Chain A
Amino acid sequence: MLFSAFLQAIREIRRNLMRSMLTAMGIVIGIASVIAMVNIGKGASESITKSVSNLGSNTLYIMPSQEHGPGGNTAFSKPFTMKDVEILKSSIVALQAISPVASASITALYKDQNYQTSVRGVSNDYFSVQNWALKEGRFFEISELRTGQNVCIVGQTVVNKIFPLGESPIGAKIRLQNFSCEVVGMLQTKGANTFGTDQDDLVVVPIKMFQRRISGKEDVPLVMASVKENIPLEEAKIQIEQVLRERRHLKEHEESNFSVRSMTALLDTISNVTSMLTVMLSAVAAISLIVGGIGIMNIMLVSVTERTREIGIRMAVGAMAKDILIQFLIEATVLSALGGIIGLIIGIGITIAVAVAMDIAIIIDPTISVIALVFAMLIGIFFGLLPARKASNMNPIDALRYE
């Protein structure tokens, strides 16, 4: 009985295919957008999570905080020095590596080729914090770091831009601004990060040399540290804060004039934003599903009126009110479920297209697919109820007389 009502429903939908498709359109759009949104959201946040952890999910960024100076100017509070870095390194065992980072945008020159790049003054720990490996050459010698020798390690992009094809940069002298330095190493390529920045676009020099030749100051504007595995980031962060507060003579009640941040904090912000977006867009999708449901109700009401005579015939041969009710309910449900299936397919298509275009992970969540289909069917049942009741409440003789 149920199965033949189902077949009957399919036949009825095929009989008015065009109209049925248009009726189901609201459901199709609603389901497609829910599926696309949820899946794209998941793909995007997975990609971001992945690349942020590539950046180093165990990395801490220690910076002086911005302060509002007189006249609304923003200024940085007291910068760090190499002494701070050394003390942190020796006193906090939770840290795996810690390096000062100072950077400036400078034109690198070799023979007649020049290229503007980011020059960074660091210590050898920088390579460990940032997971850099060497393609050729070596890292800095202790003596080079201590005295601030004119040596540098170059990234792949810089090599491509200023060195002739096939020429090894090792041992070459490149000019940075008004001094030259000898290339002792070349970094393995990393490519672009999630935010689209080319990570290989850099020249690394000893921090001491950077301070003397480029910034002209003893400042360390940024300290990057990586925390040993299986030690919670938060714990290392508290230890660093304690040491630095002491070094900066901050009193109990005073706020820290520096910050210790991790990428996970950034990650939380991103996932907050994505989940907010998902909620908002899901609300839009829910509205379109309700509109779709009303569309189904509308067409089913028309269909019931058109098929009054058929209802009369069915009752005349012995159909009960409940048989008619079930028939029209199933028809509405099949219609909306069909819309749901088409919407699901389109939604998955959009997910894949967008994921490929935006270069994010393709995630098709089976749970949300099932939920969407069940929801589509529930909408069919809910909005099919009124037309089905109208059909089943008919009087056989009146239905038969209907012209």
Chain B
Amino acid sequence: MIKLQQISKIYGSGEVATHVLKNIDLEIKQGEFVAIMGPSGSGKSTLLNILGALDEPSSGTYTFFDSSINSFSKEQLALFRRYILGFIFQGFNLLKKTSALENVMMPLVYQGIDAKSRKEMAYKALKSVGLESHVYYNSNELSGGQQQRVAIARAIVTNPQVLIADEPTGNLDTQRSHEIMELIRSFNQNGITVIMVTHEEDIASFATRTIYLRDGVIERERTHAL
């Protein structure tokens, strides 16, 4: 489904150039649940942003099924994010002073879905993360765990093929983290491919495969027995 070949990312140029990713080769099959681990600064987020079509690699190719994402225009990339991907950010990235419902409805606006269906779909998504009683709360009135669940609802409301999550439990305590991971696993079991960055082994253990990144290269990888 996803194929990265010789992906490199270089920030800056000349003397100050930093090679954040070095010739990454990676293939992810449909329905997989991949965890990316590694020390801070090893390039995990950079890799994820490239996979999420938010950032472009300096070199290498990114193929999604038969499409070469590298050759996409800005508009095509936007459409790719709009219809194929769902994103969960480390810092939630919800719109402030905006209700949970409005936040979850936002991606549907860009899909051109009418207001009534938008509301129904957003409500369903919020219910699936257990927030049906908080739909009209403003995002800043919710706890960290609740905000993360709104962010998850926003990522899955469009029924994406790939869910991309950057440290989805980074700001949460152990119990909340496990609840969130159960949720993400249930989406994976419903057929959504999940790519997730984490630096905690027990969180990575929810995945079917773990990739270890160090200084911009894949050091090793491990497949979990289910």
A313 CA / B154 CA spacing, docked (Å): 11
- What number of A-B contacts does a CB cutoff of 8 Å give? 62
CB-defined contacts of B87 to chain A, threshold 8 Å = 316-317
A319 CA / B81 CA spacing, docked (Å): 9
Which residues, 294 to 339 on A, are CB-close (under 8 Å) to B? 309-310, 312-321, 323
B75 at interface, CB cutoff 8 A: yes
A312 CA / B54 CA spacing, docked (Å): 9
CB-defined contacts of B93 to chain A, threshold 8 Å = 309, 312-313, 316, 400
- 20 A-B pairs with CB atoms under 8 Å apart are A15-B97, A309-B93, A313-B95, A316-B52, A317-B107, A317-B154, A317-B158, A318-B78, A318-B83, A318-B107, A319-B82, A320-B74, A320-B78, A321-B78, A396-B54, A397-B49, A397-B54, A397-B55, A400-B54, A400-B89
B112 at interface, CB cutoff 8 A: yes
Interface residues of B, count at CB 8 A: 27
B140 at interface, CB cutoff 8 A: no
B79 at interface, CB cutoff 8 A: yes
Counting chain A residues whose Cβ lies within 8 A of the other chain, the interface size class is 20 to 34
A11 CA / B103 CA spacing, docked (Å): 13
B1 at interface, CB cutoff 8 A: no
Listed in ascending order, the chain A residues whose CB lies under 8 Å from chain B are 1, 4, 11, 15, 309-310, 312-321, 323, 396-397, 400
**Considering residues A309, A310, A312, A318, which has the most beta carbons from chain B within 10 angstroms of its beta carbon?**
A318
B106 & A317 in contact (Cβ 8 Å cutoff): yes
**Considering residues A317, A323, A400, which has the most beta carbons from chain B within 10 angstroms of its beta carbon?**
A317
A272 CA / B112 CA spacing, docked (Å): 56
Q: A317: nearest residue on chain B (CB-CB)?
A: B107
B109 & A1 in contact (Cβ 8 Å cutoff): yes
CB-defined contacts of B55 to chain A, threshold 8 Å = 396-397
Q: B106: nearest residue on chain A (CB-CB)?
A: A317
Ordered nearest first, which 6 A-B pairs have the shortest CB separation? A318-B82, A317-B107, A320-B78, A397-B55, A397-B54, A318-B81
B75 & A320 in contact (Cβ 8 Å cutoff): yes
CB-defined contacts of B142 to chain A, threshold 8 Å = none
Nearest CB in chain A: distance from B53 CB, A: 8
B107 & A321 in contact (Cβ 8 Å cutoff): no
B110 at interface, CB cutoff 8 A: yes
B111 at interface, CB cutoff 8 A: yes
